[in-house]
Amino acid sequence: MAIKSLLWWRRPRTLVLGGRTFVPLGLRDHLWEDFYHRALTISWPGFFGVAVCIFLLFNVLFALIYQLQPGGIANETPEGLAGAFFFSVETLATVGYGDMHPQSLYAHLVATAEIILGIGNIAIVTGLIFARFSRSRAKIVFGKFPVVRPIDGKPTLMVRAANMRLNLISQASAHLHLLRLYTSPEGYQLRRIEDLRLVRNRHPVFRLSWSVMHVIDEQSPLHGASVEDLRDSEASVLLTIEGVDETTSQPLIAMYQWDIGEVRWNHRHADLVRRDENGVNVIDYSVFHDVVPLEEGKRGQVHFSTRLDESAPHK
């Protein structure tokens, strides 16, 4: 069990796309391959755990090298490997208490090599920590349920996103895609990615929320499609939002994917903005994921032969 926990990098990665789990096999996956990317994507506890282990192993290695010549360290306390280990730690950290110090040419040469290698090791760890902290991360949340409702007399697919940092994302752009399996007349099967044209694919001041809309007209890949066909083709909807973070001036990207069964037909998203008793506009993110059925008289004509499944829990 302990050996398996140490070989964490050899475990197969699991990817979840559109509610389906994929386990890639047959890929070369070595510990030192793509080390920089691993150092940036590993969790913070894992990163510091690996850094501490490398630090301890580094000092144990040099303690063994110091022990090749007994008596090379003056005032070695405690004597033996433990004293050499603590001397190595003090040397690498440039503490230099003065009690223990090299007293032979051999020990001086080993200390010199340790300092040279140690400076490089510290520089790498410091650079990785800075890179992890400075890496831009989007804090965009997506609504759990896309909805289809009539707008201007046309059925419209709507998905909702919000910038939880409440700062400005400039040059924000959105791209909506339909992913589904396609079988050619010859029997060749592939996963087709079809663009869903948006009413507005750019947001000049994406600071609060954004309702991304696609009209299901004659040019839409969803036009005339039935729910059964979409489910049989494992259809899903993918939204990607890109922009530049005002605070860090760094580009950022966020994406989310919904299975076709998560779409709510003849529903609308709950209103986020309301006015309190003092007339102040309030944005209530506690209802961000809520969807509400449309009134009977406001339901439009559908292009799907069957209404989407509404059995999944929603508010």
* Integer Cα distance of 182 and 190 in angstroms: 5
pLDDT band at 7 (very low <50, low <70, confident <90, very high): very low
Q: Are 177 and 195 in contact (CB under 8 A)?
A: yes
Of 233, 237, 193, the closest CA to residue 17 belongs to: 237
CATH architecture entry for 28-134 = Orthogonal Bundle (1.10)
Domains 28-134 and 140-298 share a fold: no
Tokens at residue 259, please?
A: 């299975």
Q: Which CATH superfamily is domain 140-298 in?
A: G protein-activated inward rectifier potassium channel 1 (2.60.40.1400)
Instruction: Write the CB contacts of 72 (distance below 8 Å, at least 6 apart in sequence).
Output: 66, 102, 103, 104, 106, 107, 110
DSSP class per residue in 95-148: ---SSSEE-SHHHHHHHHHHHHHHHHHHHHHHHHHHHHHHS----EEE-S--EE
- Give pLDDT tens digits for 183-207: 888 888 888 999 999 999 999 889 9
* Domains in the chain: boundaries: 28-134, 140-298
**What does the pLDDT read at residue 22?**
75
Tokens at residue 265, please?
A: 């037909």
Tokens at residue 269, please?
A: 């998203």
- Give pLDDT tens digits for 220-243: 999 988 888 888 898 999 999 999
* Integer Cα distance of 244 and 68 in angstroms: 57
- Give pLDDT tens digits for 272-301: 988 888 889 888 999 999 999 998 755 555
Q: Are 204 and 231 in contact (CB under 8 A)?
A: no
**Average pLDDT over every residue of 257-279:** 90
